Amino acid sequence: MLTVWGRANSVNVQKVMWTVGELDIAHVRIDAGGSFGGLDSSEFLARNPSGKIPVIEDDGFVHWESNAIVRYLGAKYGAGSFWPETPEARAETDKWVEWTANGLYPDFITVFWELHRVSESERNMDLVESALTRLNKSFQLAEQMLDGKRFVAGDTLTFGDISFGTNLYRYFNMEIARPSLPGIEAYYASLKERPAYQVHVMVPF
């Protein structure tokens, strides 16, 4: 049985839970982090010495780092479709995981954090504006990368959709200026029809 530790409104926990939902994995989720606390307990740190969520334990195997967890769950429970079989097809979707983490997310989290976690009086709008300019350019690049495809790597949902797609709910619901992104908007509309996305990602922030 899979156990997931982490609060439901953490974007990194959402990647794991969306995967769990798509792959229909029997599981329990235990709230941890944020107002639930518990990340500095010796029991939690024994599983994840970095003191962060998400963490999983699957039949005795403990793992942390959201993208690494999604890859593990994909390889174990989603081989063939969610976790493509050929190295080329796997690399194609894995590129989106790495690009999202390194190209898009640093600006995304700056904008999100300043607008939704920092009080108005403390907010640094110069920081927001410069990060938002780069973030919107990243989304324009994603629009080109998607190139009319149904999902990031073709016709079916794969693990690369998880890290990229998880960000879209917040991106399209923050009060920010966005460029025209017809391909990404159509892709996001299709994600919003998926029950696992509705339950695990479309969560108030």
Ligand X SMILES: N[C@@H](CCC(=O)N[C@@H](CS)C(=O)NCC(=O)O)C(=O)O
Instruction: Please report, as ranges, the residues that interact with ligand X according to CB under 6 A.
Output: 10-12, 33-34, 39, 52-54, 65-67
- Which phi and psi angles does 38 have, rounded to 5°? 90, -5
Q: Which residue is nearest to ligand X (CB)?
A: 33
Q: Of the two residues 66 and 138, which places its CB atom closer to ligand X in the complex?
A: 66
Q: Of the two residues 133 and 205, which places its CB atom closer to ligand X in the complex?
A: 205
Q: How many CB atoms lie within 10 A of CB 114?
A: 19
Q: How far is the CB of 102 from ligand X (least distance, A)?
A: 12
Q: How far is the CB of 64 from ligand X (least distance, A)?
A: 6
Q: Of the two residues 21 and 181, which places its CB atom closer to ligand X in the complex?
A: 21
Q: Which of 166, 175, 168 is nearest to 120 (CA)?
A: 175
E strand or H helix at 106 = helix 105-116
Q: How many CB atoms lie within 10 A of CB 130?
A: 14
Q: How far is the CB of 18 from ligand X (least distance, A)?
A: 13
3-state secondary structure of 173: helix
Q: How far is the CB of 65 from ligand X (least distance, A)?
A: 5
- 67: amino acid identity, one letter: N
